[in-house]
Amino acid sequence: MTYFSNISNIKYEGSNSTNPYAFKFYNPEEKVGGKTMEDYLRFSVAYWHTFTEDLSDPFGAGTAVRPWDHYDGMDRAKARVDAAFELFEKLDVPYFCFHDVDIAPEGSHLRESNQNIDTIVAMMKDYMKDSKTKLLWNTVNNFTHPRFVHGAGSSNNADVFAYAAAKVKKGLEIGKELGAENYVFWGGREGYETLLNTDMKRELDHLSKFYHMAVAYAKEIGFDAQFLIEPKPKEPTTHQYDFDVASGYAFLQRYGLQNHFKFNIEANHATLAGHTFEHELRYARVNNILGSVDANQGHQLLGWDTDEFPTDLYATTLAMYEIIKNGGLGRGGLNFDAKVRRGSFEPEDLVHAHIAGMDSFAVGLKVAQKLIDDQVLDNVIEERYSSFDEGIGKEIEDGTTDFHKLEEHALNLDGIQNQSGRLEYIKATINQYLLKAYAGA
């Protein structure tokens, strides 16, 4: 049984191609900055949005037409695996990601849920023997089921804490079984609605114990994946403990976990936190905690997590700028945590969406590499901070001055001269690079 039989393997045809089923900019073998695009971008398909998502919203039923949906239960779960590996091959993607409940339905008991997972994991492992597509990361869903109403690792209910831990234990085991590069924690319910019934200190203490036990168990079974925290603010709980990278990093340092985790940064979560995508990437990069990326985008007019496929070239350029400056993503990748719009309900829309996302990041990679090669922003920034290269500035950086000397310096100043930040000029220059990138100039 095939599910995308009308679509052949997607190839790179260049920017003049009019074939809707071809890459216009993503050329896996093309080298940028000494690495192939495939090695740099490390694209990943998100199982939940592509094979499990029905495109329902709070006001309407699912619209997705999926040829595997005429099956039920475990038969549907198995059909999704067939569809997934067919699509992975047609898109030629190196990675995929999943939550436990995306791949297998929950049973009436944890034991039955685990058996369902084992069946699907065995099927995936069999496919992966012949497939180039590997597991970028897996995670467990400790947020959808009603048992997680008050949280998982931060729940007030110790039985729920134990249940959530048992699910993560299983997640770590199957991550090892499938050779996952990373393991992700997104605390969908790790937060609170109101302080009126919440012991914040106790919840944070519990959550840290949860993470420490996960680290210990991974070590025990020899699962060497990079652990990742995925920050997100104010959805679904009013106050999420992993609000953004900075608050997540403060938590990790407070509880002695900072050497065991990096961050999985999602564009739409960044914007919901009131940051740009590149802010979150930069914060992680300068602290050496950039692990992986959920490549999507939000909608500027909507205040929730729309998880759109990334098509904003300005955003992909600035994101790739950070990723190149980071020396790549290491064991991480660009995972399309993105869903087609509710009106794009046909199976081929899944293909168009991934082509759009992959091409957008390929453009971003090329433009960002050119900006770096030409030192466009480096020169601006070097000049902007040059007062710290000599004199009193250098003494500040070297730690050889103090408030007495700084006061003396200030008292002897004959006025202060600042320089323009030249923001409009810089933006115009970036536009020039974006437009020149494919004009052959």
Is 312 within any annotated ligand binding site? no
Active centre residues (catalytic):
99, 102
Choose the binding region for Mn ion from 246-254, 263-271, 376-384, 403-411 (rule: CB under 5 A): 263-271
Q: Is 72 annotated as a binding residue?
A: no
Nearer of residues 100 and 307 to Mn ion, judged by Cβ: 307
Q: Which of 190, 305, 322, 359 binds Mn ion (CB under 5 A)?
A: 305
Smallest separation, CB 302 to Mn ion (Å): 12
Return d(Cα 365, Cα 24) in angstroms, integer: 14
Round to whole Å and give the CA distance between 284 and 332: 13
Q: Tell whether residue 92 is among the known ligand binding residues.
A: no
| Residue 349 exposed, middle or buried by CB count within 10 Å (0-12, 13-18, 19+) | middle
Longest Cα–Cα distance of the chain, Å, equals 82
Which one of the spans 10-18, 73-81, 100-108, 302-310 is the region binding Mn ion (CB under 5 A)? 302-310
110: Cβ–Cβ under 8 A, 6 or more apart, which residues?
163, 166, 167
Distance CA 388, CA 402 (A): 15
d(CA 319, CA 357): 13
Residue number with CB closer to Mn ion (113 or 182)? 182
H/E element, 280: helix 277-286
Is residue 313 exposed (0-12), middle (13-18) or buried (19+ Cβ within 10 Å)?
middle
Q: Is 173 in the site for Mn ion (CB under 5 A)?
A: no
Which is closer to Mn ion, CB of 102 or CB of 305?
Answer: 305
Q: How many residues bind Mn ion (CB under 5 A)?
A: 3
Do 320 and 368 form a contact (C-beta atoms < 8 A)? yes
User: Which CB sits closer to Mn ion, 301 or 441?
Assistant: 301
Closest approach, Cβ 298 to Mn ion, in A, equals 8
Window contacting Mn ion (CB under 5 A); options: 189-197, 285-293, 299-307, 386-394 = 299-307
Beta bridge partners of 135: 96
Residue 130 labeled ligand binder: no
Give the shortest CB-99-to-Mn ion separation in angstroms. Answer: 13
Q: Give 94 or 310: the residue with its C-beta nearer to Mn ion.
A: 310
Question: Applying CB under 5 A, which of residues 133, 138, 141, 268 lies at the interface with Mn ion?
Answer: 268
The least distance separating Mn ion from the CB of residue 296, rounded to whole angstroms, comes to 6
What DSSP state is assigned to residue 308? B
HSE at residue 307, side-chain half, CA atoms within 13 A, is 18
Residue with token string 């990601």: 97
230 annotated ligand-binding residue: yes
Residue 269 assigned to a binding site: yes
Please identify, using beta-carbon distances, which residue of 258 and 344 lies nearer to Mn ion. Answer: 344
Whether residue 86 is annotated as binding a ligand: the answer is no
Nearer to Mn ion, 305 or 322 (CB): 305
Only one of the segments 31-39, 65-73, 298-306, 323-331 lies at the binding site for Mn ion (rule: CB under 5 A); that segment is: 298-306
CB of 58 to Mn ion, least distance (A): 15
Task: Please give the DSSP secondary-structure letter assigned to residue 52.
Answer: I
Using DSSP, state whether 57 is helix, strand or coil.
Answer: strand
Separation in Å, CA 437 to CA 156, 355, 362 = 54, 19, 11
Residue nearest Mn ion (C-beta atom): 305
- Our finding on whether 307 is near Mn ion (CB under 5 A) is yes
Which residues inside 67-106 make contact with Mn ion, applying CB under 5 A?
A: none
- Determine contact, residues 45/91, Cβ cutoff 8 Å: yes
The interface region with Mn ion, picked from 36-44, 80-88, 264-272, 411-419 by CB under 5 A, is 264-272
Paired tokens of 173: 């085991």
Interaxial angle between packed helices 73-91 and 110-130, expressed in degrees from 0 to 180 and rounded to the nearest 10: 30
Q: Which residues are annotated as a binding site for Mg(2+)?
A: 230, 266, 269, 294, 305, 307, 337
Residue numbers at the binding site for Mn ion (CB under 5 A): 268, 305, 307
Q: Which residues are annotated as a binding site?
A: 230, 266, 269, 294, 305, 307, 337
